[in-house]
Amino acid sequence: MMNSHTRRVSRTMESYERYVILAIIFSFARCTSASVTHYSIPEEMKEGSVVANLATDLGSLSNRKIRVDVVGNKKYLDIKKDTGELFILERIDREFLCPLKTTTSCFLKLDASVENPVRMFNIEVEIVDINDNAPHFRRGTMHLDISESSPVGERFSLNNAADPDVGTNSVKNYHLSSNGTKFADLILKKPLDREKQ
């Protein structure tokens, strides 16, 4: 029959064994996976274009099977098994991949795994915007109702143009006259006379 001291020692040993097992699992997981490797490419690159050489960047991969899985996206990238080169499998349209204008960065996330011994790599490929979309107004004609009593200098806002590109590639300003502005406004320069018009 076990006394209370023996039971306490037994429980302490069980806790210690669990701790050691968890530490070994955590250590193994840390050794088998590396930090995230980043690459950056412009959108619309030609199919077959090389993004990076994983064999060079991730260490020697000779005679080892490597596999690349795209996380949560269509498979735009693949790897050449013989050279270890990561290449464009299908044209990447940033605006299709990351349609929200509020998104400043657009990434493809990949998991690469190597056999013998097993190692995991996390890869992020940033898709950089190029100026490949022309701004356009959603309506070809805009109608404004302006009273003839409107004072000179009054501003009338127009709808902004839509531009799927982001950052420096999006609409910077509008030129309706010699002075460009960030917003599309009409400014009344002379008094209106409906009867005269």
Residue 176: CATH number of its domain: 2.60.40.60
Q: Kindly report whether the peptide bond that precedes residue 151 is cis, defined as omega within 30 degrees of 0.
A: no
Pick the last residue of a domain from 83, 103, 128. Answer: 128
Tokens encoding 186: 């009409």
CB environment 3-21: b (16+ within 10 A), e (fewer): eeeeeeeeeeeeeeeeeee
- Is 11 part of a structural domain of the chain? no
121 and 49 part of one domain: yes
- Position 149 in a domain: yes
Domain edge (last residue) among 109, 128, 147:
128
CB 114 within 8 A of CB 103: no
pLDDT-based confidence at 180, cuts 50/70/90?
low
Taking 60 as the threshold, does the pLDDT of residue 21 lie above it? no
The arithmetic mean of pLDDT across residues 84-112, rounded, is: 85
Q: In angstroms, how far is CA 54 from the centroid of its own chain?
A: 21
Range of the domain at 115: 36-128
First to last CA, the chain: 111
Looking at residue 30, its pLDDT comes to 46
Mean pLDDT score, 180-191: 82
Secondary structure class of 195 (helix, strand, coil): coil
Average pLDDT over residues 11-38: 56
Kindly report the pTM of this predicted structure.
Answer: 0.64
Residues 161 and 118 in one domain: no
pLDDT tens-digit map of 137-175:
888 788 888 888 999 989 888 888 888 888 888 888 887
